[in-house]
Structure 1
Amino acid sequence: MIEVKEALEIVAANSSSLSTQKIAVKKALGYILAETIYSPISMPPFRQSAMDGYAFIHSERHQFDIVGISQAGDHSNIKIKENETIRIFTGAYVPDNADTVVMQEHVMANEKSILIATKPEPFANIRNKGEQINIEDVVFDANTVITPAAIGFLACLGITEITVYKKPKVAILVTGNELVKPGKKLSKGKIYESNSVMLAAALQTIGIKKIKIHTVKDNLKATQKALKSILKKNDIVLISGGISVGDYDFVKEALIKNGVEELFYKINQRPGKPMFFGSKKETLVFALPGNPASSLTNFYIYVYPAIRNRMGFSNTHLPKIVRKLNSSFENTTGKTLFLKALYDETSVTILEGQSSAMLNSFAIANGLIIIPQDAQNIKKGQLVTILPID
C-alpha cells in the first residue's frame, strides 16, 4: 500500500500525451493544440467601419454631401473630398482617405447630404487593419484548449485544419453478479448498476464522449477474456468492481494474466483504498472500487489528471482552493481522507453520509476536502484544502 502523493506521482509519470493528428477546425472542440499557430493574414485585413453611419475626413465641418456607399463585402475605395461623405455599414471597407465614421444615430440625413449633430473624435468608429492580430503573429500557443471562441477565431483567419493531440479511446468494464441494468426489474439480492453511467458522465466533462461500456460476471475466465479484447482497442481502461480481496474479486488476477504491469495496488486513503493502476504497452488501466463514492473519488483524484495528461493539457489536476472549516474534525485513521463537502466564498461544510457506498451526498457536494494522513485534529475555522468538483 502506498501514500496518495506517491500514487499521484506514479500516475503522472506514466500518463504521457498521445500522438498527434490533423483535424478540421470545426471538429476540434475540446482538443488540445499540439503546435503553435501563426496567423496567415491580418485581422481585420483592411480598415473596417465599426458602425452603420457615414465615413468622412475629420474637420470643423458639420455638413457633407453624400457621394457614394460602401457595403460589407464591397471594395469601394471612393476618393472623397473634405466636404463629402459616403454611406457606410458595419464591417465595410473604409476609403483610404476617410479617417472617421459618424454613427447614423448622430446625423440628420436626406438622399443628398447629412448634417452631423454630434461630432465624433477623429479616427472614431474605425477598426484598423491588424487591430486583432497581424500576419505571422501567434494566434495560439501549443497546449491551448480549443473552445468555441477559438474555433471562431481560427475560422475568421481562414484556418481550416490544425494539429492536435488525440483524445484517448476509453472503455469501462463493469463487474458484478449482483448488478442489474437500470430500467429492468430488480429481484432480491440485486442492485442497479450505476457506476458505468456515472463514470461515462464524468468522462464527458473532460471531453471524452465516445466511450465503450462492457459488463462481465464475477468469473475469472470471463473477466480475463473480456480484458484481452478491451486492452487491445483502448488507450485507457476503467474497471469498476472486483478489485478487492473477496473470493469473487478476479480483476487483478485477470489483468496480470493479460500482461498488465502492476504499478501500484491499494492506496492509504479513504474512500478508495482498493485501487489498481497498471499499464500494458501504451494502455493505462485503472481498476476502481465497486462502491460508487469510492469509484468517483478515485476518478477525480487519479483518472482525471491521467486523461488530461494524455490529451495534452498543461494543467491536469483539479484546482485547489482553501476555505475555513465550519466545524471541528478528528482524523484518527492514519489515512488521507477525501470528504464530500459544500463550500461557498468563505467557508466549507463537511456533509453527512461519507460512506463509500453513498452517492446521495456526493450528488449535492461541490468539493472534496483533503484531510492529510498526519492531520489529526482540525479546529473549526481552520483553513482546509478543497478540490472543486462542481
Structure 2
Amino acid sequence: MINYNEALEIIKSEFEKLTLHTEEVDLLESFNRILAEDVIADVDLPPFDNSAVDGYAIKFSERTQWKIIGEISAGNYSSFTLTENDAVLITTGSKLPPNADTIIPIEDVEVNGNVLSLKQDAFFKKGMNIRKQGNDLRKNEIAVYCFTKIDAKTIAVLASCGKEKVKVYSKLKTAILATGDELIPINEKPLDDKLRVSNNYSLYAAMKEMNHMVINLGFVNDDKKIVTEKIKSALALDIDLLITTGGVSVGKYDFLKEVFEEQGVKEKFWKVNIKPGKPIYFGSYEKDERRILVFGLPGNPVSSLVSFYVFIKPAINFLFRQNEMKSVTATLQNDLKKKDGKRHFLRGILFEENGEWKVISEFSQSSGNLVEMGRANCLIEIEEDKLNPKKGERVKCILI
C-alpha cells in the first residue's frame, strides 16, 4: 500500500497530462477565474505625474509663503507655469503642472485670501507627495502574470490596462456519482437502514467552491449491471474528472473497481495508508483523444470529503499553479489518540489567541459523523511515524 505523499504525486503527474483550454470572458465575469496569459501594460501606470494628497503644488524653494494662482481637480486639468512665488490648489490624483515638483498637504498650510502660508511647525521637502508617471508600472511591462487567480485587486489592474475582455483557463468539468443500496433522496425521510445521500451535495459544493463546473449524476443502488451502465454513460461525457463514492472497499458489493477496469479505466493506485479514506481508488481513462481522471472515493461521508480536501483539491490547485494546500502550524490544546502507522487527518477547530494559532479536537473522529465535519474548520495532519500527539505539541492544520 502506498503512502499519502506517493499517492498525491501520482495524482499530480496525471493532472499535468490534462489539456487546459482557454476562453475569453468579460472583465466583470472573470472574478475567481485563472488568467491564461501575461497581461501587458499598454500605458504607464500612473499615466502622468499626479498628487498623492489634497494640497498645494509649488516649485520648490526655501520660501514659506506663496500666491495662489488657481486650482486643478482630478479630470479637470489646467496648465499653469509656476514661479517660486506661486501655488496651485490640487486634489488627490490630479495631474501636476509641468514645473511643479512638490505638494504641501492642505493641513500644513493656512489660507488668507489668495495668500498661502506654511504653518509654523510644518515641514516640506522637494519632491514630497508626488506619484511619478510609470512609478507603478511602465508601458510594455507585465502588469498581471499568467496563472493569477483574478480577484477584486487584480480586476482593478486589468481595468487600468484597458482589458475589457480577458483570456482565462476554462473550468474543469466534473461528474459526481454516489453508489449504495442504503441511499435515498434528501427529500425523503430515512426509515430502517436508509440514509439520505449527502456525498453528491458535499462534493458538488466543494468543486463549486473552487469555481469549476459540476454535473450531479445522482446515485444508484449496488447492482453491478446498473452501475456499469451508469459508469459507461459517465465516461462518454465531455468531462475532465469523474468522482464516485462507495463501492471501492473489499465488501461483497464493492465492485466499482472491477467495473472501472471493464470499462477501460487504467488503475494508478488503490488504497492509501491514511485515515480516513484508506480505500481510495484513482485511475485514468483515455479514448478518442479524451482523458478523464477517475476517483473512487469511500462511501462514508467524512472519508469522501476528507479525500477531496487532501487529494483532489491540492491536485487541481497544482494544475492551475495555485497554492496547493493552505495550512498553518498550531499548538495542540488536547491529547490525540493515534496508535497506528497511517497518516491521520483529524477534524479540528483552529483559532487564534494572543497572536498564536491554537487547535482543539474533541471530536469522535468517526468517518460517518457529518455533524462533526460541519463544525470543523481544519484537518490536523499527523504523519505516519507520529503516535498519540500530546497537548502543547505543534501540529500542521489544513484549512477547510
Please, which of 224, 229, 232 is the counterpart of residue 225 of structure 1? Answer: 229
| Counterpart Cα distance in 1 of 2:13 and 2:331 | 30
Counterpart of 2:86? Answer: 84
1:380 deviates by 5.0
Question: Do the aligned residues in 2 keep the contact of 1:108 with 1:114 (CA within 8 Å)?
Answer: yes
Looking at structure 1, the residues matched to 208 and 248 of structure 2 have their Cα atoms a distance apart, in angstroms, of 24
Alignment counterpart, residue 288 of structure 1, candidates 276, 293, 297: 297
8 Å CA contact retained: 1:22, 1:161 = no
Distance change in 2, residues 1:256/1:100 (3 Å) = same
Which residue identity does 1:304 align to in structure 2? K
Q: Tell me the distance in 1 between the aligned counterparts of 2:73 and 2:391.
A: 66
In the alignment, is residue 389 of structure 1 matched against residue 399 of structure 2? yes
RMSD between superposed Cα atoms in Å: 2.6
Counterpart of 2:372, as a letter, is S
Instruction: Check whether the contact 2:43–2:140 (CA below 8 A) recurs between aligned residues.
Output: yes
- In structure 1, C-alpha distance between the alignment counterparts of 2:292 and 2:227, rounded to whole Å: 17
- Unmatched 5+ stretches in structure 2: none
Match for 2:238: what amino acid? K
Q: Which is worse superposed, 357-366 or 87-96?
A: 357-366
Q: C-alpha displacement at 1:348, in angstroms?
A: 4.0
Distance 2:189 2:70 in 1: 76
TM-superposed CA distance for 1:347, in Å, is: 4.9
Instruction: Note if 1:197 corresponds to 2:201.
Output: yes
The 5-angstrom pairing of residues 165-180 of structure 1 reads 165-180=169-184
* Structure 2 counterpart of 1:326, one-letter code: N
Tell me which residue corresponds to 2:249. 244
Q: Which residue of 2 is the match for residue 363 of structure 1?
A: 374
Number of the residue aligned with 1:72: 74
Distance 1:65 1:134, change over 3 A: same
Task: Classify the secondary structure of the residue corresponding to 1:152.
Answer: helix
C-alpha deviation, 1:18, in angstroms: 3.7
Match of 1:23 in 2: 24
Distance 1:346 1:54, change over 3 A: closer
Please say if residues 72 and 90 of structure 2, whose CA atoms lie closer than 8 Å, have aligned partners that are also in contact.
Answer: yes
Q: TM-score scaled to structure 1, two decimals?
A: 0.88
Q: TM-score, normalization: structure 2?
A: 0.86
Instruction: Render the CA deviation track for 1:231-259: whole Å, top value 9, x for unaligned.
Output: 32211121122323334334333323332
Q: Percent identity?
A: 35
Q: Which amino acid aligns with 1:139?
A: A
Alignment-mate amino acid for residue 368 of structure 2: A
The answer to whether the 8 A contact 1:54-1:102 is kept is: yes
Is the 8 Å Cα contact of residues 323 and 343 (structure 1) preserved in structure 2? no
* Cα distance in 1 for residues equivalent to 2:98 and 2:77: 11
- Give the alignment of 1:341-352 within 5 angstroms: 341-344=348-351, 345=356, 347-352=358-363
Residue 315 of structure 1 aligns with which residue?
Answer: 323
- How far apart, in 2, do the equivalents of 1:326 and 1:39 lie? 53
Secondary structure, in 3 states, of the residue corresponding to 1:233?
coil
What number of residue pairs does the alignment pair up?
A: 386
In the alignment, the residues of structure 2 paired with residue 155 and residue 119 of structure 1 have an alpha-carbon distance, to the nearest angstrom, of: 37
Q: Secondary structure at the match of 1:215?
A: strand
- 1:277 matched residue in structure 2: 282
Asked if structure 1 preserves the Cα contact closer than 8 Å seen for 2:245 and 2:299, the reply is yes
Q: 5+ unaligned residues in a row in structure 1: which ranges?
A: none
Aligned partner of 1:7 in structure 2 is 7
Q: CA deviation at 1:173?
A: 1.3
Q: Which moved more, 1:195-204 or 1:103-112?
A: 103-112
* Aligned: 1:340 with 2:347: yes
Q: Is the 8 Å Cα contact of residues 37 and 142 (structure 1) preserved in structure 2?
A: yes
2:41 corresponds to 1:39: yes
Are the equivalent residues in 1 in contact too, given 2:301–2:368 (CA < 8 A)? yes
Maintained 8 Å contact 2:58/2:100: yes
Distance 2:334 2:86 in 1: 71
Q: Report the AA paired with residue 248 of structure 2.
A: I
